[in-house]
């Protein structure tokens, strides 16, 4: 179902103000298709009826369903290339230099909503490529956590379908995957830097133990939290970072108004938050 | 490096370029006409109509999605009124400038250069609006012309400039620093010298010279700060010379941002993330404007 530009802008602004996810106008078609599904499910006839539903007391619950629709299939290898480029070109060398000077040759990375593991393993591959140069003799620890045990188990297994690996550069695909019956099996070399655990980001007693990370990633999760919960979790991330560490959210997310301690660092095609 | 020395180097370099484009006769006449305090818009419009290319460019600029007039403007006179009488000079110069360089791509291709130029113009205007800067057109035009020095280097010093770009790819060095290393001057000083030769008004000359160093500006530091920020945002949001310029910045530490916040404290509340996402949405409009300006039709 096509929605008018005006209705699209209204919905986009409402969703953004509520959860901090921005729908680019290039994603209008995508939002339309997902909205159509939700409208069918809720029996609403027009975009404006659906908008009224979102604003009603039942709106919070419905927004979660909509966000599920929108973020589903959003987990794949090399998902956010501008982010990876910025890390590789700038942020990683900067941190390696600073820590190297202190004689502290250990890198810790946290994929805080790791789902089936694609993000954590992408980073592992990227760092593996630097094993003989920038990260020679460095200890690398990548931790993936998710609230959902099923996806944590999948992540540990490390077997993927063609959709998940569609963005993997050929060089990496050949080097780090074995293809069997249409499945892509990740090499043990990539897996050895990464551990996966179940973790609820809202669990303060567990969160305080996630210490000393250089990079933290948390995509497509904070959008589900209200402002108070978001602030609390983001403050944990802040505390859990090393000085000058970086925190990244998803490609269309915003932390505006959530935390005023992080500095926004802009790079080509995106931005991240620096402690 | 001493700015006076860099300016001198730039002057010498510009002086050696013997086929540097000149301002078309009509633009010169328009400028002369505008020196008369009693000039009226009809006279200017009549004169400009003699130059069809200039007329067409002005019409395209004013009707672009970037400018967004409420209805399409179909007469040159209305276009001039809409852009503001006081800006006819700049419009004439900008149009001449585009004309002069449209086939001079050099190392940087024509389209990405102008996408950056018009992008910075558009973003500068948006920022100017947010801080209630009194002259939005000035911000827009200042944005369009801020990198004229880059265009000159890319075309007239192609080989060395290609090496400069390569340098920025090999190590984390800013384009402007790589230029200073190679040429002993930068696109800011070179642009300033061109603007001087073309008799651009003082505020624009300053904006070109200080768009990377707005603290050094004396006549209109706010304008320089606006253009500095607009330039930074465009460089990270796909209006970045086709990805040839790699920039990372911490907004909180940027002079342009600090200058504007000193003057307009409410800017601190700006949702910068959303600002960037909205800028992404406007990128196709800018690209469309550039392709329409350079289409032969």
> Tens digits of per-residue pLDDT, A9-62?
999 999 999 999 999 998 898 889 999 999 999 999 999 999 999 999 989 899
Query: What residues contact A37, with CB distance under 8 A and at least 6 apart?
Result: A69
> Tens digits of per-residue pLDDT, A142-185?
999 999 999 999 999 999 999 999 999 999 999 999 999 999 99
Confirm whether A196 is domain-assigned.
yes
Q: Tell me what pLDDT residue B103 has.
A: 74
Are A92 and A201 members of one domain?
Answer: yes
- B269/B202 Cα distance (integer angstroms): 32
Are A113 and A228 members of one domain?
Answer: yes
Are A119 and A140 members of one domain?
Answer: yes
CB–CB of B248 and A16 under 8 A?
no
Confirm whether A217 is domain-assigned.
yes
Nearest CA among A117, A189, A190 for reference residue A153: A117
- B59/B226 Cα distance (integer angstroms): 25
Among the partner-chain residues A256, A264, A268, the one whose CB lies closest to the CB of B246 is A268
The residue range of the domain holding A60 is 5-71
Confirm whether A76 is domain-assigned.
no
Task: Look up the ipTM and state it.
Answer: 0.92
Chain A residues touching B251 at Cβ < 8 A: 263-264, 266
Q: Tell me what pLDDT residue B275 has.
A: 95
Confirm whether A181 is domain-assigned.
yes
Q: For chain B, what are the domain ranges?
A: 3-21+105-294, 22-103
Q: Do B15 and B197 meet the contact criterion of CB atoms below 8 Å apart?
A: no
CATH number of B3-21+105-294: 1.10.3210.10
Mutate one of B249, B273, B284 to test the A interface: name it (highest A CB count within 10 A).
Answer: B273
> Tens digits of per-residue pLDDT, B77-107?
888 887 776 667 767 777 777 777 777 777 8
pTM: 0.89
Are A91 and A126 members of one domain?
Answer: yes
Q: Pick from A71, A99, A121: which residue ends a domain? A: A71
Mutate one of A268, A274, A275 to test the B interface: name it (highest B CB count within 10 A).
Answer: A268
Q: Pick from A36, A51, A71: which residue ends a domain? A: A71
Q: CATH code at A261?
A: 3.40.50.150
Q: Could you tell me which chain B residue has the CA closest to the CA of A261?
A: B252
Among the partner-chain residues A26, A256, A266, the one whose CB lies closest to the CB of B236 is A266
Q: Pick from A50, A71, A92: which residue ends a domain? A: A71
- A181/B283 Cα distance (integer angstroms): 42
- B75/B49 Cα distance (integer angstroms): 10
Number of domains in chain A: 2
Mean pLDDT of B242-262: 88
> Tens digits of per-residue pLDDT, A206-258?
999 999 999 999 999 999 999 999 999 999 999 999 999 999 999 899 999 99
């Amino acid at each position: 179902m096509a929605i008018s530009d005006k209705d699209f802008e209204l919905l986009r602004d409402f969703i953004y103000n509520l959860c901090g996810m921005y729908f680019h106008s290039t994603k209008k078609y995508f939002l339309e298709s997902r909205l159509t599904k939700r409208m069918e499910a809720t029996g609403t006839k027009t975009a404006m009826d659906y908008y009224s539903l979102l604003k009603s007391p039942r709106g919070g619950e419905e927004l979660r369903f909509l966000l599920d629709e929108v973020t589903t299939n959003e987990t794949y290898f090399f998902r956010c290339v501008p982010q990876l480029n910025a890390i590789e070109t700038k942020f990683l060398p900067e941190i390696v230099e600073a820590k190297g000077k202190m004689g502290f040759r250990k890198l810790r990375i946290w994929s805080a909503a790791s789902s089936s593991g694609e993000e954590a393993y992408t980073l592992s591959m990227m760092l593996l490529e630097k094993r003989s140069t920038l990260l020679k003799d460095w200890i690398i620890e990548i931790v993936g956590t998710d609230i959902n045990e099923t996806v944590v188990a999948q992540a540990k297994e490390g077997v993927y379908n063609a959709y998940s690996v569609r963005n993997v550069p050929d060089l990496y695909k050949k080097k780090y995957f074995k293809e069997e019956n249409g499945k892509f099996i990740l090499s043990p070399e990539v897996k050895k830097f990464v551990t996966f655990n179940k973790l609820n980001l809202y669990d303060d007693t567990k969160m305080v133990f996630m210490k000393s990370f250089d990079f933290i990633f948390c995509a497509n999760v904070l959008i589900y939290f209200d402002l108070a919960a978001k602030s609390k979790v983001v403050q944990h991330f802040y505390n859990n970072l090393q000085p000058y560490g970086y925190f990244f959210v998803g490609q269309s997310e915003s932390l505006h108004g959530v935390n005023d301690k992080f500095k926004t660092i802009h790079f080509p095609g995106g931005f991240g938050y620096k402690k | 490096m001493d700015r006076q020395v860099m300016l001198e180097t730039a002057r010498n370099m510009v002086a050696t370029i013997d086929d540097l484009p000149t301002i078309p006769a009509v633009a010169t006449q328009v400028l002369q006409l505008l020196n008369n305090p009693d000039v009226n818009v009809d006279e200017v419009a009549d004169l400009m109509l003699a130059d069809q290319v200039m007329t067409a460019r002005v019409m395209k600029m004013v009707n672009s999605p970037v400018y967004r007039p409420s209805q399409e403007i179909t007469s040159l006179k209305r276009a001039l009124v809409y852009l503001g009488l006081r800006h006819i000079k700049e419009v004439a110069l900008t149009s001449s400038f585009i004309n002069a360089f449209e086939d001079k791509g050099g190392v940087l291709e024509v389209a990405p250069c102008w996408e950056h130029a018009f992008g910075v113009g558009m973003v500068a205007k948006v920022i100017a609006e947010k801080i209630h800067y009194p002259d939005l057109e000035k911000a827009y035009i200042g944005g369009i012309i801020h990198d004229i020095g880059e265009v000159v280097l890319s075309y007239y010093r192609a080989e060395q400039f290609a090496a400069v770009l390569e340098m920025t790819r090999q190590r984390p060095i800013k384009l402007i620093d790589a230029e200073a290393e190679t040429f002993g001057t930068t696109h800011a000083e070179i642009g300033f010298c061109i603007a001087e030769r073309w008799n651009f008004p003082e505020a624009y000359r300053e904006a070109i010279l200080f768009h990377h160093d707005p603290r050094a500006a004396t006549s209109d530091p706010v304008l320089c700060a606006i253009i500095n920020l607009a330039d930074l945002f465009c460089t990270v949001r796909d209006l970045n010379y086709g990805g040839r310029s790699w920039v990372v910045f911490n907004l909180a530490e940027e002079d342009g941002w600090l200058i504007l916040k000193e003057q307009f404290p409410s800017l601190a509340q700006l949702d910068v993330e959303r600002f960037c996402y909205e800028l992404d949405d406007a990128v196709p409009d800018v690209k469309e404007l550039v392709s329409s300006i350079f289409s032969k039709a």
